[in-house]
């Protein structure tokens, strides 16, 4: 479960991490009033679960009442990468001299949490990891003992953080790990962690993703999750249909049965040059109506340009899946997005025969299906 920036900052601030003065606004007038109260300059930031908000026009720095009104009018109600913006965070602008990245996540290869620090903050950390992996210092943590103070200092110094602020950055990192542990986090990060000319350390952004299976013991976070889902029609649909669903930034929609199978499909989409638009697991024993609901969800995502189905029949029967796909697609006078299907396992051959190839493209291997879906998406982009 993902928290909005304003919610994550609330959690961080309550734990003692410095954050800029800010107010949440749902109307243009509320945004202007908040800016006047905080004092200019301020940043007006769309509260949606997407990266690259600034480049997409979802974050604007303003220095007057007139600019604040104009920015709020532009951002509130806009469609940002398929998300409707209903709230903005009006936040004190930070006069910074340096930007860092700090984060905690689970390293599944090592089977332990890992704390990360980089002096290349303010940019996509995944790109940094790919282009310059040595720019990110890492320290694995034994969850039985937690993060020792020396570990926080060690990873901060290895990242090359200036000595004047190193202890404060280590303190923020220690708190971030404690939140990750106490709140059943999947990921916690600050990007950027800004350093001011006065050597103050301020969290200018905040990310906190929670293990959804642990929400029963995190009631306060669970309440935040209900609020975070408001305004996101797709995530509300996922809850209604009972799907495991995560929205991503790409344009290849992915539907599969079983988390491992869906993750494999995501990896292959990336491998063949595409960008996944979502993680959607329909679960085992999926009947025709459930498959139809899955298609309805993916078709509703404006970012999706093509769809790939990857179904391996165990409990889920290939003929049931094929009937669901046919029933869903027959409702349309024109298919909104090209659909590629790969079936394997129980009753897969029967399913292949049932599929209406006037409505879908059928491939016999997962690799061929993914490549075809990526090709379709690229054709739409062109």
Exposure of 189 in the CB half-sphere (CA atoms within 13 A): 24
CA–CA separation, 24 and 6 (whole Å): 7
CA–CA separation, 136 and 102 (whole Å): 9
Exactly one of 5, 67, 92, 189 is catalytic; which is it?
A: 189
Fold of 21-92: Dna Ligase; domain 1 (3.30.1490)
233-381 CATH = 3.40.50.261
Residue whose token pair is 């993703």:
209
Q: Which CATH architecture has domain 96-228?
A: 2-Layer Sandwich (3.30)
What are the pLDDT tens digits along the chain (382 aa)?
889 999 999 999 999 999 999 999 999 999 999 999 999 999 999 998 887 888 889 999 999 999 999 999 999 999 887 788 999 999 999 999 999 999 999 998 899 999 999 999 988 888 898 899 999 999 999 999 999 999 999 999 999 999 999 999 999 999 999 999 999 999 999 999 999 999 999 999 999 999 888 989 999 988 887 665 555 677 778 878 888 888 888 999 999 988 899 999 999 999 999 999 999 998 766 667 788 888 888 998 888 999 999 988 777 788 888 888 888 888 888 888 999 999 999 899 999 999 999 999 999 999 999 999 999 999 987 6
CA–CA separation, 109 and 35 (whole Å): 45
Active site (annotated) includes residue 157: no
Q: How is the chain split into domains, by residue range?
A: 21-92, 96-228, 233-381
Residue 151 dihedral angles phi and psi, to the nearest 5°: -70, -40
- As given in the structure block, the two tokens for residue 161 are 């953080």
Report pLDDT for 230: 53
Fold agreement between 96-228 and 233-381: no
Binding residues for ATP: 45, 52-54, 91, 94, 99
CA–CA separation, 268 and 257 (whole Å): 16
Report pLDDT for 374: 96
Report pLDDT for 12: 98
3-state secondary structure of 182: helix
Sign of the torsion formed by the C-alpha atoms of 292, 259, 355 and 335: positive
CA 270 to chain centre: 16
Query: 41, exposed or middle or buried, with CB in 10 Å at 0-12, 13-18, 19+?
Result: middle
Exposure of 325 in the CB half-sphere (CA atoms within 13 A): 33
Active site (annotated) includes residue 189: yes
Binding residues for Mg(2+): 191, 205
Is omega for the bond preceding 167 within 30 degrees of 0, making it cis?
no
Report pLDDT for 198: 95
Binding residues: 45, 52-54, 91, 94, 99, 191, 205, 257, 314-316
Report pLDDT for 228: 56
Exactly one of 5, 67, 92, 101 is catalytic; which is it?
A: 101
For strands 306-313 and 339-345, give the pairing: parallel
Strand boundaries in the chain, DSSP class E? 22-25, 42-46, 59-62, 79-80, 83-84, 88-92, 96-107, 112-118, 136-140, 185-196, 201-203, 207-210, 244-247, 252-256, 278-281, 306-313, 339-345, 361-362
- As given in the structure block, the two tokens for residue 245 are 């669903």
Sign of the torsion formed by the C-alpha atoms of 142, 148, 154 and 160: positive
């Amino acid at each position: 479960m993902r928290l909005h920036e304003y919610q994550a900052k609330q959690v961080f601030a309550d734990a003692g991490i410095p954050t800029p003065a800010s107010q949440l606004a749902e109307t243009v007038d509320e945004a202007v009033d908040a800016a006047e109260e905080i004092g200019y300059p301020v940043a007006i930031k769309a509260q949606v679960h997407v990266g690259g908000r600034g480049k997409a026009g979802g974050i604007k720095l303003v220095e007057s009442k007139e600019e604040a009104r104009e920015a709020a009018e532009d951002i509130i109600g806009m469609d940002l990468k398929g998300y409707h913006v209903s709230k903005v965070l009006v936040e004190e602008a930070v006069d910074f001299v340096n930007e860092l990245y700090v984060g905690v996540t689970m390293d599944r290869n090592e089977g332990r949490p890992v704390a990360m620090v980089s002096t290349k903050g303010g940019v996509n950390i995944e790109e940094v990891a790919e282009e310059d992996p040595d720019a990110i210092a890492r320290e694995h943590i034994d969850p039985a003992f937690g993060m020792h103070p020396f570990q926080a200092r060690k990873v901060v110094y290895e990242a090359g953080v200036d000595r004047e602020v190193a202890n404060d950055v280590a303190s923020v990192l220690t708190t971030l790990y404690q939140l990750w542990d106490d709140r059943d986090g999947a990921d916690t990060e600050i990007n950027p962690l800004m350093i001011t000319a006065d050597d103050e350390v301020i969290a200018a952004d905040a990310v906190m993703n929670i293990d959804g299976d642990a929400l029963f013991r995190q009631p306060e976070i669970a309440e935040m999750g209900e609020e975070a889902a408001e305004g996101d029609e797709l995530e509300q649909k996922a809850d209604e249909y009972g799907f495991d669903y995560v929205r991503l930034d790409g344009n290849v929609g992915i539907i599969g049965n079983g988390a491992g199978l869906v993750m494999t499909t995501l990896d292959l989409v990336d491998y063949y040059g595409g960008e996944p638009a979502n993680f959607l697991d329909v679960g085992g024993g999926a009947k025709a109506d459930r498959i139809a609901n899955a298609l309805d969800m993916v078709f509703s995502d404006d970012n999706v340009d093509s769809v790939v189905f990857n179904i391996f029949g165990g409990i889920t029967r290939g003929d049931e899946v094929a009937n669901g796909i046919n029933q869903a697609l027959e409702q349309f006078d024109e298919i909104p997005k090209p659909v590629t299907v790969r079936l394997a396992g129980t009753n897969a051959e029967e399913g292949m025969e049932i599929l209406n190839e006037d409505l879908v493209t059928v491939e016999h291997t997962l690799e061929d299906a993914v490549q075809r879906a990526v090709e379709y998406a690229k054709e739409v982009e062109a």
